[in-house]
Structure 1
Amino acid sequence: MMNTMTSITTVAIAVPLEAELVDRIRAVDPSVTVLYEPDLLPPERFPADHAGDPDFRRTPEQEERYWAMLNSAQVLYGFPNESPSGLARVATDNGHLQWVHAMAAGAGGAVKASGLDQQTLQKFKVTTSAGVHALPLAEFAAMGILNGFKRTAELALDQRARNWPELRTPTRLVSGSRLVIAGLGEIGLETARLARALGMAVSGTKRTPEPLEGIDQVTGNDGLPGLLATADAVVNTLPGTPYTEKLFNRDVFAAMKPGTVFVNVGRGTVVDEDALLEALDNGQVSYACLDVFAVEPLPLESPLWGHPKVLVSPHTSALSAAENRLITDRFCSNLRTFLDGGELPHLVDTVHFY
Structure 2
Amino acid sequence: MTERINILTTGRLGEDFQAAVKKEYNPEALKIDYFVEIDQNILDRYDALACFSAGKDLDLGRLDWIHSFGAGVNSFIENPSLNPQIKISRTIGLLGKKMAEYCLCYILAPCKNCISNYENQKNRIWQQGKITDLFSSSVAILGTGEIGRTVAEMISAFHCDVYGINLHGKQYPQFKKCFKLEDFIKNPPQIDILISILPSTESARNLLTKEFFQKLSKLHFINVGRGDVIAEKLLLELLESSIICQATLDVFSSEPLPEDSALWNNPKVVITPHQAAITDIDDIMMSFTQAYEAFKKGENNYLFIKLNRGY
Coarse TM-score class (shorter-chain normalised)? 0.7 to 0.9
Deviates further, 177-186 or 219-228: 219-228
The 2-side partners of 1:136 and 1:75 are apart by: 28
Question: After the TM superposition, which residues 244-323 of structure 1 pair with which residues of structure 2 at under 5 Å, given as runs?
Answer: 244-258=204-218, 260-319=219-278, 323=280
Q: Secondary structure at the match of 2:98?
A: helix
* Counterpart for residue 351 of structure 1: 308
User: Would the aligned equivalents of 1:179 and 1:231 in 2 still touch at CA under 8 Å?
Assistant: yes
Deviations, residues 27-61 of structure 1 (Å, cap 9, x unaligned): 5xx64132334xx32xxxxxxxxxxxxxxxx6xxx
Match of 1:11 in 2: 7
**Count of residue correspondences:** 308
Match of 2:56 among 69, 76, 85: 85
Query: Distance between the aligned counterparts of 1:279 and 1:162, measured in 2?
Result: 34
Q: 1:173 aligns with which of 133, 149, 164?
A: 133
% identical aligned pairs: 24
User: Structure 1 residues 215, 123: CA separation in 2 closer, same or farther (over 3 Å shift)?
Assistant: closer
Q: Residue 225 of structure 2: SS of its match in structure 1? A: coil
Structure 2 residue matching 1:22: 3-state secondary structure = helix
Q: Which has the higher strand share?
A: 2
Code of the aligned partner of 2:3: S
Question: Which of structures 1 and 2 has the bigger CA Rg?
Answer: 1
What does 1:114-193 align with in structure 2 at a 5 Å threshold? 114-116=79-81, 120-130=82-92, 132-159=94-121, 162-165=124-127, 168-193=128-153
Decide whether the 8 Å contact of 1:84 with 1:113 is kept in 2: no
For 2:111 and 2:212, how far apart are their aligned partners in 1?
21
**Maintained 8 Å contact 2:186/2:212:** no
Q: How far did 1:302 drift?
A: 0.9
Kindly tell me: are residues 307 and 285 of structure 1, through their superposed partners in 2, closer, same or farther at Cα, counting changes over 3 Å? Answer: same
Question: What is the aligned-residue RMSD (CA, Å)?
Answer: 2.5
| Cα distance, 1:7–1:246 mapped onto 2, change above 3 Å | closer
Partner deviation per Cα, 1:183-239 (whole Å, 9 max, x = no partner): 111221111111111111111201121222142221122232577442111111111
The aligned residue for residue 69 of structure 2 is: 103
More helix by share: 1
Query: Larger deviation: 13-22 or 324-333?
Result: 13-22
Q: Shift of the alpha carbon at 1:132?
A: 4.5
Question: Which string of whole-angstrom CA distances, capped at 9 and with x for unpartnered residues, describes residues 257-287 of structure 1?
Answer: 22x2111101100012222222222222221
Question: Is the alpha carbon distance of 1:201 and 1:345 closer, same or farther for their aligned partners in structure 2, counting shifts above 3 Å?
Answer: closer
Larger relative CO (CA 8 A, sep 6+): 1 or 2? 1
Residue ranges of structure 1 left out of the alignment (5+ in a row): 42-57
Does 2:310 match 1:339? no
Indicate the SS of the match to 1:85.
coil
The code of the aligned residue for 1:85 comes to K
Deviations 1:114-138 (A, max 9, x none): 232xxx4214222222454222112
Conserved? CA contact 2:153–2:175, under 8 Å: no
One-letter code aligned to 2:72: G
Question: 2:113·2:130 contact (CA, 8 Å) conserved in 1?
Answer: no
Deviation string, structure 1 residues 95-152 (Cα, Å, up to 9, x no partner) = 4x31111112111x21244232xxx421422222245422211211111211232233
Distance 2:268 2:122 in 1: 15
